[in-house]
Each structure stands twice: as C-alpha cells, then as structure tokens.
Structure 1
Amino acid sequence: MNHPAVNFVGTNKPESGGALVLIAEDEPEIVEIIKAYLHRDGMRTAHAKDGRAALELHLAIKPDLVLLDVKMPHVDGWQVLSELRRRGNTPVIMLTSHDQDIDKLIALRVGADDYVVKPFNPAEVAARALAVLRRTGSNGVAERGLLRCGPIEVNLESHQAHVLRNDAALPLSLTLTEFRLLAHMARTPARVHSRAELLVSCLPEGDSLERTVDSHISKLRKKLEAADVPHLLVSLRGVGYCLKSPS
C-alpha cells in the first residue's frame, strides 16, 4: 500500500539497528531538525505527515517510540494517542505549542510518557527520547514487547508476567485488568499514575469509578506479595500509584 503522507528514513530493516522513532509532525522544518538530532544519537526515524498516516505506519513498522504532534491534519494528536493506547503500550512523547497545565494533564492522563512544548531545544527532545526508551526497555536492543521492573518481567505479546528469581521465572496469575495495570506502570517505573489515568488506560470498558482502580490495585499488590515481591507497588495517598524503580 502506498502512503503519500509517510516518509521512511533509515527503516529498510526496522528489526535491526538503533531504536526506531516515528515522528508524527506536519511541519517539515521541525521534522528535519528532530531527525538530525535523533540520528546523531543513533536512532532511526520514520515520518508521518498527518494523524491518519501515523496510525497506519504505527501498525506497519511497530516503532519503539512515537513523537506525536497535537495539531495535525485528518486525525489530531489526542485521537492518535487514544488509539495507540487502545492498541498497546508504545511509548509516546507529545509535541505541542501549548504550554498549558490542562494539556499536560490530558496528555499524561490519556497515557503519554512525556510532553515537550514548542519551541523546543532539539537536543532536549533527543535526550528525552533516549530517557523514555531506557525506562521502557524499547532501546532497539531489548526484546520487543518485553518490560522489566526489578524482578518483574512483563511480556506484552503473550500477556504474561513473571517474577525472576535465581534463573527461574515464577508466573504471576493475573486477571486482564491486573495485567494491564502492571504493564502500564512497568513502562514508566517511579512515575506516579493517578487513579483517573489508570482508569482511562487500563479499564476502558469497565466501571467509571476511580475506587474500582483501588480494588484491582489491592488484589495486584497481594499477588506480588505472595510471589515474594513486597513493597514494589507503592501508594501515594491522594495522588496515585507507582512501581519502584529498579535499584
């Protein structure tokens, strides 16, 4: 299929080499600057000029990270982000010209991993991209679809989670919601996730009450404790939940 709004850059073999970053941005000048800095830091890039092309290309090449502009033709960045979160856990950094707290809250609530305001320093964008890739294990070398947080290993493709102990992998028996919660938090260890964010990202077809999240988190914590992984899942009163960063 031809994609007139898609430009592949260094993606002849997306399965090899450095991390593959999809740049969804409709301003060519910005794209060229970002590409130069990402390439300098060893990353490969592909470019989509509008939201519809970004969604098509995401399915086609399975990028390690998406740099996503909020204002794009056909499908805006918020809609693209929502669809990406329904599909899975590809890391996303939002690019926007609006320095408003409400935009930042929406981005994080819907599931963005970071947020950069235009005009930005392209070196900072590249640094943030590398930081997100390190946090999520999507660095072009780590196995795709595999997240690790301390002794916990989460396989996004098989929907299985294990506790790694002395070269052994103890499976965790989780419900679909518990798995979604664990995977969502394992993507960004140490970042606090609000109940509202977890509700939107992990229980899209379930109850609309935030206390439902508390119930699922409580059950997940008990299963982690039973597997001899205490104190990994942390509660911050009045704020939300997070997984401790690996020591």
Structure 2
Amino acid sequence: SRKEIIRQAKEEAEHLLQESNAKIENAIRTIKEAQAEKEKTQLARQELTDFRNSVENITPSKQEDNIVRKMEMLRQKQERRKGKKAANPDNHLLPASKIKPVVEGDTVKIKGQSTAGKVLEITGKNAVVALGNIKTTVKLERLEHAHAGSVSINTEITKNSFVSNSTQDQMYEKKLEFKQDIDVRGMRGDEALQAVTYFIDDAILVGIDRVRILHGTGTGALRTIIRQYLQTVSGVKHFEDEHVQFGGTGITVVDFF
C-alpha cells in the first residue's frame, strides 16, 4: 500500500542518514587523530633536534668522545680488578700479623702487575727479583705473593733463577737513563693519555719512586684526564700539584709504592 511504501522509504532514509552521520563522525575522528599524531611527530622531532644540539654543545669533537670512552674503559678495568680482589683476597687484605713475609725463593709479583717473578736476594727493605729475562731491585713493600692461576709465571724462572749480569746491568742503566719528567703540553687529550700510560708503566717497571707530568694549566682538561687515569693505577701511592715555585697546578707529581 501507499502508506507501507512511504514507511519503508522513511526507514531507508533514516538508515542512510544514520550511516552517513557515522561515516562523518568516523572521518572527523580520523582527521583529529591524524592531526594529533602529526603534532606528536613534530614534537618528537623537535625534542630530538634539541637533544642533538645539546649533545653537540657538550661534546663538540670526536676527540672528546674518544677520551670519554677511554676513561670509561679504565674505570671498568679498575672495577674488574676490585672484583678479582674480592673473589681472591690478596695478602694486603689480611691483618698485618697474618701476612706471610717475602723470603728468598718466593714467587712474587709487583702490586698492580700480573707477571710473576722469583725473589733471588733480599737486602734490608729491598729485594732482587727475576722477572722473565730481567733482574730488578724492588722495595719489599711493593711485592706480594703470587697465587697460582692469578698470574702468568715464567717457566724459565722456576727452572733456573740465574739471570745474567749483563741483563742486570742493562736494567740498571735503563733506570739511570729514565727521564722522570714527561711533557704532554700541546697534545690532544687521547695522545697525552696514551703517552702518560706508557710513561707510568715504564716508571713502575724500573722501580722509580717519583715522576713529574707537565700538562700545563690551560682549560684544565689534560690535568683532569691524567689524574682520573692515575686513580686507576694501583702502583700509584699519591699524586699532587707541584710546589707553586716549580710549576704549581701545571705539573702533577706522582709517587709510587
């Protein structure tokens, strides 16, 4: 009938209207979400740009990045050493009454070093130690007993403690010729750090008591880097500024055990 047709037409029109409204609302929601997402993206990009700029302001060169990485490596190395000491306590952690004194024939190592040697002779507070093909005189307080598995022991030492006089003379001459000052002024941070590392290793090996590192004043960057490194060296007893009359803060004086 006519009424039925009109009713159906109204229902279809109403359905189409509802469907259209739903599509319109969905489209509006999609547009709003897209706009919000776009704003989030723009905000994230801006934050990234700001962060990059701040990082570039803090570390303007690859050189400083290298220094930071090296100092972090040194810090981690020191942490590993502490971990090993905690797992395998050494003599210096024991009460003084329980520390076994070093005597001739003992296998020992210099504190902070890994290579073991044999004590050939003890005179007063000093000991003559064979380290591989080198015989050197070391203060007893710088020696500790080597524990099996914790150091690399030269098999030739255990078989024969003889070291030629010529080798001993060469070591003595090296100690006499050792320059106790190093000048790293004008070097880049990583270059200075490497030079000081070799210098300190050599000083400990030949048994030097004190050295001086000339780094200058400038911005203080070299002084800071070098002192951070010295804090990681177990063979270093103490370090401080040189007397003001002889260089002051431009020179670091290092004493060894």
Tell me which interval the TM-score lies in, with the shorter structure as reference length.
Answer: under 0.3
- Higher share in helix: 2
| TM-score, length basis structure 1 | 0.23
| TM-score, length basis structure 2 | 0.22
